[in-house]
Structure 1
Amino acid sequence: MSIVIALDEGTTNAKAVAIDGDGRVLAHASRGLGIRNTAPGWTEQDALEIWEASVEVLARVLAQVPADEVIGLAISNQRESVVAWDPVTGAPAGPVLSWQDTRTADRCAALAQVHGDRVLDLTGLPLDPMFSAPKMAWLLEQAPDGTVVGTVDSWLVWCLTGGSRHVIEAGNASRTLLMDLATLDWHPELLGVFGIPREALPEIVASNGDLGSTACDGLPAGIPILAVMADSHAALRGHGGGEPGVVKATYGTGSSVMQGTGAQLRRRPGVATTLAWLDDRPVYALEGNIRYSGSALDWTARLLGVADARSLGALAATVDDADGVVLVPAFGGLGAPHWDPTAVGTLTGLGAGSGPAQVARAAFDAVAHQVADVAEAMLAEGEALEAVRADGGATASELLMQTQADALGCEVVVVGEADVALRGVAAVAFAQRGIALPAAAASRTHRPSYSAQEREAARARWRAALDRSKA
């Protein structure tokens, strides 16, 4: 039997599983991670805590399986977050700046006035503080000369290999605002825009490239690192995606909606073009990121004084619909496909009959309509969605998934597996050894219950509320 140990280093947890070539999970471990807001818009983590949590869960899983059957490690990681460190001592040169961190918003807005179109053309990304380059520049400005930077995958590979490999996986590199999507290399013009010296950056490697082997405390030496992928990209691979037929939506704190475009570098207004992964050839994708989905449910639960999102769902299910109430959770502006940092959260359509249940229902509607906005933005004229594959914790809500099917007007195929990203990156690792890992299996399917007229009326109410949010 061949076993891959897969690590998913996320924003709030580090998780590891042992998975065999038939797709069975043989062991698992997890550990929570801290995240702190040190000033308005500043969101930070501790690089050493991320490393310690990652090596801990890997070691716990390795201890549960036969060592001689482990063929290697695979890593999926939170994207866009940035680490800077001393390449000699390995000491972090400041905090991890999270993908949620917006301290560089003013800098990005000023740069976008001059360079926004060019950056979008080269990278497929809007010049937004979510992405890595402005965070890298900020950290390097505070750090001593000779400091190096990278994304979380760079940091983990550097630590795992005892400092012998300073690399970044190509899909993660595509989220930095520094990589040219056509050449798959750092672009000198972009380095100049952000003021980042090339010597501080890692080498870009394929998702199954030369990633080294373990040479660190806490793990056996010599285990090859077979694959690295950004987490949303790994989830697409776990769904069997990559070609245009598969659209996936991951429901977490925010949401990622992604459609593979194969070898075609496709662009659509309002959504990002990104490199999904690079193995024997590049595989591109369209993606839209929603900042508040699961967190919008949590916010509404707090507002209404109910325990959690599950309790909110029970309350929402006591009414047939929101009765005209619409929540737009633009608490930090709107992401894809609107990209409006000035938008504000709104709750509209309230009437004398509105109560907590209608507001709760509006929160579930809001998640579904945001995903529908992104999915529709990905379509060319005349195209239609056949189905969306869904993963993430919030897919446990039957109400949300049915609401999603109604907002999209297509089937929503729910994958009950909690760690689709781990399956995806493990698939790339197994492919290195000639083993084809099966895609994640569906657990249930939700079909639209709305007529075309009902769906359009609901979408029109949502669009009207969006206009108020933006105004």
Structure 2
Amino acid sequence: MSGSDAILVGIDIGTTNLKAVALHPDGRVAAVVRRPMVVRSGGAGATEFDLDALDRDLLGALRELVDRLAAEGVAPVRIAGIGVASIGESFVGLDREGRRVSPCPTWYDRRTTNRRADWGLSPAHWFEITGMVDDDIYTVHRIGWWRTAGADWPGRVHRWMLVADYATFLLCGQVVGSPSLAARSGLADRRDGRWSGEILGHAGLDVASLPELRPAGSPAGTLLREVGKATGLPVGLPVVNAGHDHPCAGLGCGLVDPGGMIDSTGTSEALKTVVDRALTYDEVGGGRYDCYPHAVPGRFLLSGHVPASGGLLDWLVKLLSGPSPAPDAVRELWRLAALSPPGANGVRVAPFLQGTGAPWNQRARRAGIASLGGASGPGDVLRAGVEALAAWLAVNLEAFEAIAGVRPRQVTLAGGGARNALANAIKAAFLDRPFVIPDVAEAAGAGAALVAGLGVGLFPDATAAAALGGIGRQAVPVDPALAAAYAGLRDEIVLHLKAEAGAHG
């Protein structure tokens, strides 16, 4: 089979949906299947993924993907490899028989305590090992919380896995991890691609209880016979643990070499760029941004995120129109937001539903709406939310340019939020910088497929994998009149954002 005839499959297990993506090597998407992720919520901030549903939906989505390809005349034998990506931080524990014995807390589950100081590690030393912002969300802290919470199952765990590790295990039976996803556990040393003996010692974990870490893009194993029977995929198909969804999404949009920047928008929002080495604590402004292994060898991802971006806008829509807004009501709200003038008639929003995100990294901060008056309307509030997110992006883009020493002519826009034309226009005008939107459906799944292509030798290197010669790109130009209006408002909106984040200076 020639490279041009091959099909690659990427699995992206996200916060909201599981996606199975069939991809041509040039980036064209052949088919996409989605299944909703099932989340169980409880008291005290408890939120857990339902892994019974994941077990079922992983196989069901692959079966449907194979059927859709067959309907287009694409035989399963053309599939060259499958890559698996997922959210980070969430974990699952398996016993000696490979049975799940633990819950799977979401990455935003609030039942965690940052134990770094208890171990005598300074923020700088923590960062130099892990490349992670000093936070409480990482797997090492989650496992620690559960081990002291009185549950009886931690003692029965034989292997700890992150979500993509677990899905890879279901597909090929091998317990293999990826450096980019392992970084999100807080247990890996980004400098050598191995588990950190120092942090494992503090956490009381044995390296034998963790997946075998292999270099990015390395095959984990081959598809199990029973999985092939259930899905229609070829038995023996190479399976690659592609890693964390954010770097995979970057690769799916062509981000593999230093110089470019991607604003990835969905439930949350992340600004990402690539560097060629592990930046130090001081180089990222005192550990303000993550800098961890990319999904491809020899590259690192510089990343900062805000936990609620699309989530903030959805929350505002529900706040303004009720908990279950009808489509007509949603369209009307966005029409009113478009009619609201730049500056939203003075209304200001702090976009911190779940903390500030980068660069302030204050999890306890919360959203706020300020300067409401009798003449303020729902469109003003919604537009102010978009402007707040544009201000967040402007602050972080300026910092990234200083850290990476580049100023890209345009910024790539990806994710579900890239479908919001008004938000795109406001951001472009606020930054006075055009955007480009690659025509890639489900970027993280596409990136996972490309990592699989690297793993099976379909591409000579990561740069070739990221060429994406078969896709189109949509330009989002700067509206000169809108940019001129925001030129006089930008500083005030940014100052409000910083003040609400508790920033000084």
Out of 305, 312, 329, the residue aligned to residue 296 of structure 1 is: 312
Distance apart, 1:146 and its partner CA:
4.4
Deviations along 1:59-117, one digit per CA (max 9) or x if unpaired, are: 221233302211121222122211111131x2212211111112113x44754885433
The answer to whether the aligner puts 1:341 opposite 2:373 as a matched pair is: no
Deviations along 1:229-279, one digit per CA (max 9) or x if unpaired, are: 321111111121122211111111111111011346464122111111243
Q: Counterpart of 2:458?
A: 434
SS at match of 2:84: strand
Q: Counterpart of 2:242?
A: 228
Calculate the aligned-residue CA RMSD, in Å: 2.4
Distance apart, 1:198 and its partner CA:
1.8
Q: Pick closer, same or farther for the CA change 1:189–1:312 going to 2, 3 Å.
A: farther
- TM-score (ref. length: structure 2): 0.85
- Decide whether the 8 Å contact of 1:71 with 1:223 is kept in 2: yes
Unaligned runs of 5+ in 2: none
User: Which segment is superposed worse, 385-394 or 461-470?
Assistant: 461-470
Q: Pick closer, same or farther for the CA change 1:6–1:451 going to 2, 3 Å.
A: closer
Distance apart, 1:56 and its partner CA:
1.2
- Decide whether the 8 Å contact of 1:171 with 1:230 is kept in 2: yes
The total of aligned residue pairs comes to 465
- Decide whether the 8 Å contact of 1:342 with 1:470 is kept in 2: no
Distance apart, 1:451 and its partner CA:
5.2
Out of 100, 106, 111, the residue aligned to residue 92 of structure 1 is: 100
SS at match of 1:71: strand
- TM-score (ref. length: structure 1): 0.91
- Greater relative contact order structure (CA < 8 Å, 6+ sep): 2
User: Which segment is superposed worse, 378-387 or 256-265?
Assistant: 378-387
Q: Pick closer, same or farther for the CA change 1:66–1:298 going to 2, 3 Å.
A: same
Out of 275, 295, 300, the residue aligned to residue 277 of structure 1 is: 295
Distance apart, 1:181 and its partner CA:
1.6
Q: Counterpart of 1:406?
A: 429
The answer to whether the aligner puts 1:70 opposite 2:79 as a matched pair is: yes
CA distance in 2, matches of 1:456, 1:137: 49
Q: In structure 1, what residue type is equivalent to 2:200?
A: L
Out of 176, 186, 193, the residue aligned to residue 177 of structure 1 is: 186
CA distance in 1, matches of 2:96, 2:484: 58
Deviations along 1:132-165, one digit per CA (max 9) or x if unpaired, are: 2212333456422443111111101111123xx1
Mapping of residues 112-127 of structure 1, within 5 Å: 114-127=121-134
- Decide whether the 8 Å contact of 1:27 with 1:61 is kept in 2: yes
CA distance in 1, matches of 2:333, 2:276: 39
Mapping of residues 355-394 of structure 1, within 5 Å: 355-380=377-402, 383-394=406-417
The answer to whether the aligner puts 1:446 opposite 2:468 as a matched pair is: no
Distance apart, 1:393 and its partner CA:
1.4
Q: Pick closer, same or farther for the CA change 1:346–1:62 going to 2, 3 Å.
A: same
Q: In structure 2, what residue type is equivalent to 1:39?
A: G
Q: In structure 1, what residue type is equivalent to 2:60?
A: E
Unaligned runs of 5+ in 1: none
- Decide whether the 8 Å contact of 1:86 with 1:147 is kept in 2: yes
- Decide whether the 8 Å contact of 1:257 with 1:288 is kept in 2: yes
CA distance in 2, matches of 1:69, 1:221: 13
The answer to whether the aligner puts 1:419 opposite 2:427 as a matched pair is: no
Identity among equivalent pairs (%): 26
Q: In structure 2, what residue type is equivalent to 1:198?
A: V
CA distance in 1, matches of 2:120, 2:91: 24
Q: Pick closer, same or farther for the CA change 1:81–1:227 going to 2, 3 Å.
A: closer
CA distance in 1, matches of 2:267, 2:35: 17
Q: Pick closer, same or farther for the CA change 1:310–1:462 going to 2, 3 Å.
A: farther
Q: Pick closer, same or farther for the CA change 1:115–1:208 going to 2, 3 Å.
A: same
